[in-house]
Amino acid sequence: MQETTANQVAGNATSSFTEHLQRDRPDLLPYHRAMPAAAAAATPLQVPHATTIVAMSYGGGVLMAGDRRATMGNVIASRHIEKVFPADRYSVLGIAGTAGIAIDLTRLFQVELEHYEKIEGTLLSLDGKANRLGAMIRGNLPMALQGLAVVPLFAGFDTTAGVGRLFSYDVTGGRYEEREHHTVGSGSVFARGALKKLWRPNLAEAEAVSVAVESLYDAADDDSATGGPDPVRQLWPVVYTVNRDGARRIPESELAAVAGRIIEARSAERREA
């Protein structure tokens, strides 16, 4: 009898916010919703999509950047959307795919990490965080199969090992560690090409910011779903760096200067493609 009580207590003890929701409030989860199969087959849903995210390692940490455009079919749904978020003090998260679900998943992931920290009194390891995110993406698989996929990119500083690390995912929640740089989203092929030429090991932080903005510029040049720097509206990519001191958002003024230099250099060259 006593053993069953002990087992019950142990079984109910969870530091995971998602598990708690699954048990007590499944209606609050972004996924776990049965969708009528026929509806999906009839017309593909027209919902905003978020596109290109780039991430790279640099000397002392990792960097992640995202453009500001969301598209719905051939229409620009938003010019202000943010696709890179701090997950906790030592990690950031970028999202590509169905914007609505991705933003909800991000919110859930942020609460998940904070919840663990408060219950356990310590931070989750970076591998632990990466695995939790993988499990959440896997939870979204039924929706992904119906066209509402979310593909994240995750970067953080491993405080135990003292290095910045970078993780990519597929829609089944598969987790892959990337060594140098990685991109996701519809403009990713173009950004990746740029990164291959611009990135080198042990970049300084300021150089890494410039490389990220330039690779997003190249993605925006060729992919209609990716927005470039917008000097008219004063809109610049969202860029975060994560190092030993934690995650830091690069201020707008710095990004304006970086984007300005890139636009200037490209105008001076007057090249077509």
Partner 1 sequence: MTQQFYVSPEQLMKDRADFARKGIARGRSVVVISCQDGIALVAENPSPSLHKIGEIYDKIAFAAVGKYNEFESLRQAGVRYADVRGYSYDREDVTARGLASVYAQSLGAVFTAEQKPFEVELAVAEVGPTPELDHLYRLTFDGSIADEHGFIVMGGQAERVSAVIAEGWRPSLRFAGAVRLATRGLTSGPDPAAEQGEAGGTLPAKAVEVAVLDRQSETSRGFRRAFRRLNDSDITALLAEED
Q: Which residues bind partner 1 (CB under 8 A)?
A: 17, 20-21, 24-25, 28, 107-108, 111, 114-115, 118-119, 121
Nearer to partner 1 by C-beta: 17 or 90? 17
Structure tokens at 123: 């931070």
Rounded to whole angstroms, the Cα distance separating 94 from 53 reads 6
Nearer to partner 1 by C-beta: 17 or 199? 17
Nearer to partner 1 by C-beta: 43 or 253? 253
Distance in Å, CB of 37 to partner 1, minimum: 28
From 238, 240, 186, select the one nearest 49 (Cα to Cα). Answer: 186
- Report whether 61 contacts 68 (CB < 8 A): no
Catalytic residue, from 5, 14, 51, 159: name it: 51
Distance in Å, CB of 21 to partner 1, minimum: 7
Rounded to whole angstroms, the Cα distance separating 15 from 115 reads 7
Residue 183: which residues within 8 A CB-CB, separation 6 or more? 52, 53, 54, 55, 153, 189, 191, 192, 195, 215, 219
Conformation bin of residue 269: beta by default, left when phi > 0, alpha when psi is -120 to 50: alpha
Report the SS3 class of residue 147.
coil
- Report whether 190 contacts 216 (CB < 8 A): no
Distance in Å, CB of 213 to partner 1, minimum: 23
Phi, psi (degrees; rounded to nearest 5) at 62: -130, 160
Distance in Å, CB of 1 to partner 1, minimum: 15
Q: What's the Rg (C-alpha) of the chain?
A: 20
Distance in Å, CB of 198 to partner 1, minimum: 30
Nearer to partner 1 by C-beta: 139 or 187? 139
Assess whether 183 carries a catalytic annotation: no
Nearer to partner 1 by C-beta: 28 or 265? 28
- To 10 degrees, what angle do helices 99-120 and 126-139 make? 140
Active-site residue list: 51
